[in-house]
Amino acid sequence: MLDLTNARRIGIIGGGTVGWLAAIALRRIFDVDVDVTVVEAPTVFPLGPGEGGSLNLTDTLCRNGIDVDVFIGEADATHKLGVLYENWRGGGISDHYYRMFGGSGIPEIECRVEGFFPLLSARIAAGENLHTYIPGFELIRRGASQNEIDELLATGESGLYPSYHFNDAEFERCLRRVGLARGITSRATVVHGMRLDDRGHVSALQLGGEELEVDFAVDASGFARVGLGTVFNMHWCSFANVLPTDHAIIFELEPREPPLQCVTRATAMKAGWMWEAPLNRSIRAGYVFSSRHADAAMALAELEHQYGYRVEAKHELSPAQGYFSTAWINNFVALGTASGFVEPLEAAPAAHTFEQLRNLECVLANGSGIVPAQAIEAYNSANARCWTGVRDFLRLHYDCKGIDTPFWRDLAGAELPEGYADLRACFQKRTPRFIDIQPYVASGWQSLFQQIDWISVAAPLGVVPPAAACAELRRLSAESQTEVQAYVDRLKGTITKISSTRGWMH
């Protein structure tokens, strides 16, 4: 049992976005006489290289009383309503598809029969793009301004759920200002280690020549990983054999002429992929690649060939992908990159961090500061499941065979993780279902990527072939088939029919 009812000080190792968010959340949960101190040790890359927010970003802000409009102004935030994928099927920049952040009220999502979406399956079977079912997509495709997007979202009829691109450094400054105003203490020094008591609990943070006594400690030190990697020596679960990229260069681009894109661009490259997150004053970008197939000089040369001008790397990183098997030990918990890391595809590092923090809040608040060992075990188990779900969803993006370079050829022949391999076999026969992603969540955790997200990536890549969509449509009742047929006729304006034995006939 962990009893924090008499806690006097909470210590946060590392500032950054993760550290200050954790401090603000814990300040809200604990009594006002409990000191919350952020030891702002130097951190690099606390959330990961992407600065495109995830779908749980807005909830994280609102839950912690951070005004979204203030966040937008102070963090140089711009709308992010989805991800644009270019060249992932090998057809060049013009060969693209979208994963939009679809919301409620859309017929294609509201209509569900026996665990699947018949209207989306009809689109797949008919060879139609999935992203165009979003009511607000056409305005986005035409390049709507930020103000036009504001107006579109205000109608409540866009079919979109908002998130944001943001400047990570400015977001941190915003959180720091909020935290200090709420009575959080800041110490500008480095945590060199931790003193443990005879129970294995953290009793003090070692700050060089002094110690800071604590009753609960949070590691937000990023890749420094002061706790799990140094003090506790937890087992590392590597994704190296599943997610092939292990190197990244980060750079900035000059902002393009307005209007700004309200999607993150993800472009498949020779040895990996590149992202662009458009902000008001710059475009934050990076190239994640495999060091077995390219080095930084080769990556920069490829970028400069693509853009037509010189690109200067601001940072160069070699992060290992994977996670620590245990993130919460006694009165110590690691969040964000301090607990694990994956490449920033789909803003997965940020999404996972926000979900970690939400569940930490839930456990502490629901137990009134008294946490049984089983709850900590459940948190660790759910955290591991969530990491596995992220791994498999990201691996899905690489399940394409249209790019003829050594990196992509090697990837096409690589062995798949058992869980994803089994899902892929299912997707050859039907579209993704909720039961497919249910094993990735437990103990109140929420899935970071929903059924519709898996469909939006699997179908354009051909992991869900049209024949699989046809097969599940044939299992509908005659009445439902008639309704779906009418939908397809309106969609295509051509004669397209379902046959109970032969599938779709064009």
Place of tokens 């299912």: 426
| Of 238, 239, 212, the residue nearest 226 (C-alpha) | 212
Q: Cβ contacts of residue 173 below 8 Å, gap of 6+? A: 74
Please report, in tens digits, the pLDDT of each residue of the chain (506 residues total). Answer: 999 999 999 999 999 999 999 999 999 999 999 999 999 965 444 444 347 789 999 999 999 999 999 999 999 999 999 999 999 999 999 999 999 998 878 999 999 999 999 999 999 999 999 999 999 999 888 889 999 999 999 998 899 999 999 999 999 999 999 999 999 999 999 999 999 999 999 999 999 889 999 999 999 999 999 999 889 999 999 999 999 999 999 999 988 777 788 999 999 999 999 999 999 888 999 999 999 999 999 999 999 999 999 999 999 999 899 999 999 999 999 999 999 999 999 999 999 999 999 999 999 999 999 999 999 999 999 999 999 999 999 999 999 888 999 999 999 988 899 999 999 999 999 999 999 999 999 989 999 999 999 999 999 999 999 999 999 999 999 999 999 999 998 887 754 444 433 333 32
Please give the C-alpha separations between residue 142 and each of 41, 130, 162, 264, in angstroms, as whole numbers. 44, 17, 18, 16
| Residue 58 confidence (pLDDT) | 94
Angle at 397 between CA 395 and CA 401, to 5 degrees: 100
Residues 382, 139: Cα–Cα separation, whole Å: 39
* Cα separation, 205 vs 212, whole angstroms: 5
* Contacts for 325 with CB less than 8 Å, ≥ 6 apart: 234, 235, 236, 237, 380, 384
Residue 213, helix vs strand vs coil: strand
| Chain position carrying tokens 């920033």 | 344
Q: Give the Cα separation of 49 and 51 in Å (integer).
A: 7
- d(CA 243, CA 316) in angstroms, rounded, equals 19
What does the pLDDT read at residue 122?
95
**CA–CA separation, 435 and 451 (whole Å):** 9
Name residues whose C-beta falls within 8 Å of residue 196's C-beta, 6 or more positions apart in sequence.
202, 203, 231
Q: What is the DSSP letter of 102?
A: B
Ramachandran angles phi, psi of 259, nearest 5°: -85, 155
Give the SS3 label for residue 273: strand
Coil, helix or strand for 493? coil
Contact 2, 330 (CB under 8 A): yes
pLDDT of residue 42: 59
* Rounded CA separation 457/85 (Å): 9
Supply 103's token pair.
């919301």
pLDDT computed for residue 49 by the predictor = 38
- How many other CB atoms are there within 10 angstroms of residue 235's CB atom? 9
Cis status, amide bond into 417, omega within 30 of 0: no
In degrees and rounded to multiples of 5, residue 464 shows phi and psi of -105, 100
Q: Is the dihedral of CA 162, 168, 174, 178 positive or negative?
A: positive
Residue 244 · residue 403 · CB < 8 Å: no
Strands 202-206 and 332-334 turn out to be: unpaired
Angle at 285 between CA 279 and CA 288, to 5 degrees: 150
What is the pLDDT at residue 261?
87
- Using CB atoms within 10 A of its CB, is residue 82 exposed (0-12), middle (13-18) or buried (19+)? buried
Residue 323 makes CB contacts below 8 A (sequence gap 6+) with 236, 237, 339, 340, 341, 383, 384, 387
Give the span between the Cα atoms of 232 and 250, in whole angstroms: 31
**Strands, E, within 173-329: which ranges?**
185-187, 193-196, 202-206, 211-213, 216-219, 236-238, 247-253, 264-268, 272-278, 283-289, 313-317, 322-324, 328-329
177 three-class SS: helix
Question: Residue 33's Cα: distance from chain center in Å?
Answer: 35
Q: What is the pTM of this model?
A: 0.94
Beta-carbon-side half-sphere exposure of residue 323 (alpha carbons within 13 Å):
26
Q: State both tokens at 487.
A: 């939908």
Burial of 33 per CB tally in 10 Å (0-12, 13-18, 19+): exposed
Q: Specify the pLDDT at position 294.
A: 97
Q: Which residue has the tokens 């598809």?
A: 97
